[in-house]
């Protein structure tokens, strides 16, 4: 009988690292430079579903968290933006 892996085991076959967005590509894809144990590597990444749903925008220089599959280290998924930005509009004051 072949070895069948559960969904949880398949999810753990990835590495989560932090990197910096260095280029914006068409189709909501980004080039991210990661530094893993002193080795720099450029990874082509797409935005995860939650980030796409909440319209989280990324720009060059943003620090992000990336999930990379152990099977293909040239592609990844951006799961979190670590860079905190100032709000584009000041908060509204409550009416008196």
pTM for this entry: 0.74
* Domain count for the chain: 1
Whether 88 is in a domain gets the answer no
Residue 75, in any domain of the structure: yes
From CA 46, how far away is CA 25, in angstroms rounded?
Answer: 10
Kindly state whether residue 95 falls inside one of the protein's structural domains. no
27: left (phi over 0), alpha (psi -120 to 50) or beta: left
pLDDT of residue 53: 87
Residues 12-25, mean pLDDT to the nearest whole number: 91
Residue 58 forms part of a structural domain: yes
User: Contact, 78 vs 47, CB < 8 A?
Assistant: yes
The CA-to-CA distance between both ends of the chain, in Å, stands at: 72
Q: Which helix (H) or strand (E) holds 51?
A: helix 49-53
**50-93 pLDDT, tens per residue?**
888 888 889 999 999 999 999 999 999 999 999 776 655 555 66
Inside any domain, residue 4: no
Is 77 among the domain residues?
yes
> How far, in Å, CA of 46 to CA of 83, rounded?
17
Cβ atoms of 31 and 46 closer than 8 Å: no
CATH number, domain of 25, equals 2.40.50.140
- 50 falls within a domain: yes
- Which residues span the domain enclosing 45? 12-81
Q: Is 6 domain-assigned?
A: no
10, pLDDT greater than 60: no
């Amino acid at each position: 009988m072949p070895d069948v892996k559960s969904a949880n085991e398949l999810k753990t076959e990835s590495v989560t690292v932090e990197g910096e967005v260095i280029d914006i590509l068409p189709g909501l894809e980004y080039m991210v430079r990661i530094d893993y144990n002193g080795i720099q590597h450029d990874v082509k990444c797409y935005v995860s579903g939650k980030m796409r749903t909440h319209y989280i925008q990324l720009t060059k220089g943003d620090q992000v968290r990336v999930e990379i599959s152990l099977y293909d280290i040239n592609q990844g998924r951006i799961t979190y933006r670590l860079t905190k930005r100032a709000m584009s509009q000041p908060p509204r004051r409550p009416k008196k």
